[in-house]
Amino acid sequence: MALTLYLHPLASFCHKVLIALYETGTPFEARIVDLMDPQENARYLEVWPVGKIPVLHDGAADRIVPETSIIIEYLDRHYPGQEPLIPRDDALALEARLWDRFFDLYIHVPMQKIVTDTLRASGENDRRGVADARASLATAYDLAERQLTDRRFAIGEAFTIADCAAAPALFYAGIVQPFGDTHPNLSAYFERLLERPSFKRTLAEARPYFHMFPYKDAMPARFL
């Protein structure tokens, strides 16, 4: 098989790429990486010295492709599905890339800051950083609420790279800082994402690992 995706089934950024792969129907091998295992982590650093997941290896081109947005662009160019994840129209392509970055930087990253702070040793918590992250999420929810007025997906009727980014970001962010009762457009959009077969499959594969999520006790019962 040409494509190998290094990932962990619980990792939210890995979900973003899995959704893209399931949308395109592109065959690939999933290789789970346990970064907490020193020996496995050392082996993985030979693949990608930065040490972060996911990373795609294209055996046909003998090429390592890191970074989620770049991976999805690479798939869209070299292993496309029936519908493009990057719109062919230049203006819509820029809009899709903008909202891809929006969901990554202003929802995904602050969510991870909040979650990872719970894993710090006692006395090493970053209370100010967590407060700033929560404030960033609140602002991002408000912006997304306005963007999603009268839109089925992030930039319109078509499912794009922006929605690949939004789905896992909103899934985990909605657990650590719920938006369902305060942002009706965003909440309705998230429900539409949950109905997408590619996202359903990704969550089903992650479910056996949900017990590892630091906020598992706050996870809605429908996801367990």
pLDDT in tens, 139-198: 999 999 999 999 999 999 999 999 999 999 999 999 999 999 999 999 999 999 999 999
Strand order in the sheet with 63-66: 29-32, 3-7, 55-58, 63-66
- pLDDT of 59 reads 95
Side-chain-side CA neighbours of residue 182 (13 Å): 12
Cβ-based neighbours of 132, under 8 Å, separated by 6 or more: 110
Counting as low any pLDDT under 70, the low residues of the chain are: 1
Closest alpha carbon to 53 in 42, 44, 63: 44
Could you tell me if 137 and 39 lie in one domain? Answer: no
- pLDDT of 45 reads 92
Q: Classify 86 as helix, strand or coil.
A: coil
* Chosen domain end from 78, 112, 143: 78
Q: Is beta strand 3-7 parallel, antiparallel or unpaired with respect to 55-58?
A: antiparallel
Rounded Cα–Cα distance for residues 187 and 150 (Å): 13
Q: What percent of the chain has pLDDT over 90?
A: 90
Q: What is the CATH number of the domain that holds 74?
A: 3.40.30.10
Domain membership flag for residue 84: no
Full domain range(s) for residue 52: 3-78
Could you tell me if 65 and 111 lie in one domain? Answer: no
Where are the alpha helices (H) located in 59-123, listed in sequence order?
68-78, 90-102, 109-117
Q: Classify 11 as helix, strand or coil.
A: coil
- pLDDT of 1 reads 63
Could you tell me if 116 and 52 lie in one domain? Answer: no
Could you tell me if 185 and 140 lie in one domain? Answer: yes
Work out how many domains the chain is built from and give that number.
Answer: 2
Domain membership flag for residue 165: yes
Could you tell me if 106 and 57 lie in one domain? Answer: no
- pLDDT of 28 reads 97
Q: What percent of the chain has pLDDT over 70?
A: 100
Token pair 């719970």: residue = 118
Could you tell me if 104 and 192 lie in one domain? Answer: yes
- pLDDT of 41 reads 87
* Chosen domain end from 45, 78, 111: 78
CB 191 within 8 A of CB 183: no
